[in-house]
Amino acid sequence: MSRFLTPHAARLPSTVPFTGPEALERRSGTPFRARLGANESLFGPSPKAVAAMQAAAGGAWMYGDPENHDLKQALAAHHSVTPAHIAVGPGIDGLLGLICRLTLEPGTPVVTSLGAYPTFNFHVAGHGGSLTRVPYKHDHEDPEALVFAAKNTGARLVYLANPDNPMGSHHPARVIEDMVANLPDHSLLILDEAYADLAPPGTVPAIAADHPQVIRMRTFSKGYGLAGARVGYAITHPELALAFDKVRDHFGMGRVSQAGALAALRDQDWLKSVQDLTLAARTRLSAIALQNGLRPLPSATNFVTIDCGRDGDHAGKVLAELGRRGVFIRMPGIAPLDRCIRISLGDDQALDILAETLPLALKAAG
């Protein structure tokens, strides 16, 4: 059947960037006791969002509004921009695929960090881009090195997540603002701010929505707790936002997801409660790590990356032993980041299970 594929597609591996917990449960035949690997919000979405989705479910026989009008209007008001600055899509992952489709040809240079969010790399590979990967610096992405690589390679796209996945680290706003000021003219910065709603004050940079070289990605999957609804959006120059209409699936956003996102955005009190729960869970999860002789890294996200103190083989054994005890976690995939495991924040029940199983897993790992 490969004769029907393009030569480029035929060379690509048939893989996905992540193995889902459902696939792992099917392999083991046992459900996880604690789902702490996918950076979902165990605190859940706003009850108002749930009610809105339940009400919208009766109308699921209709397509969603292909213009995402109401949601774009609300997002524009929330961010003090115009609706023309907003592009809505099926999560940041979907928007990353669209921006790669819009900007990349075979061989187009692209710069990212070595070990950063792999779904971006997946889309770059799918569209034939040529990736340059810059190492992390002290468990942080290195904006200065990213800009240097962009200048040297002529990169059309530069990807940076702030706060970062998988390390949970972040740069203050001024660092990102300096990065933007030093971008070469030929580069577009994809600033992935998936965790911005949970980041410390002073993290989100001041970048004009009309800036011609920056596209900011946001999501309802993290702080708003709607990962399963698949709603993301971009804030960018109106010309670039409009360009998404050239390639996007115009019926890609379902009515139920649109209704849930709109209600979630309107319930900022719920988001504030999740931010408070996040702070408390970070503190407890970090304490669990310390109690077991591990080093939790400072986090600006809804997960904590934990240094296991050795190498990737050891961290992989800890991950496997936790999995055998019903706890789903993940780890960075690239050395030296892979000396760590990454554990999503959970409610008290999930963290109780982690506190019970982590010492057993560490002992079994050796």
Quickly list H helices, the chain: 7-11, 21-28, 47-57, 69-79, 91-103, 118-126, 143-153, 173-181, 238-243, 255-266, 268-291, 312-324, 348-365
Based on C-alpha coordinates, what's the Rg of the chain? 20
Which of these three, 239, 266, 293, is where a domain ends? 266
**Joined tokens for residue 163:** 């706060």
| CA pair distance 360, 366, nearest whole angstrom | 10
Q: Are residues 353 and 294 in the same domain?
A: yes
Range 54-89 burial, b when 16+ CB lie within 10 A, else e: eebeeeeeeebbeebeebbebbbeeeebebebbbbb
347 sits in the region (left: phi over 0; alpha: psi -120 to 50; else beta) called beta
Which of these three, 216, 237, 266, is where a domain ends? 266
> Domains in the chain: how many in total?
2
pLDDT average, residue stretch 27-38 = 96
Which of these three, 213, 244, 266, is where a domain ends? 266
Contact 203, 173 (CB under 8 A): yes
What average pLDDT is seen over the chain? 97
Q: Are residues 71 and 124 in the same domain?
A: yes
Residue pLDDT, tens place only, 50-70: 999 999 999 999 999 999 999
Domain encompassing residue 155: 47-266
Residue pLDDT, tens place only, 243-260: 999 999 999 999 999 999
pLDDT at 108: 98
pLDDT at 16: 79
| CA pair distance 162, 151, nearest whole angstrom | 21
Residue pLDDT, tens place only, 132-143: 999 999 999 999
CATH of the domain at 311: 3.90.1150.10
**1 pLDDT above the threshold of 80:** no
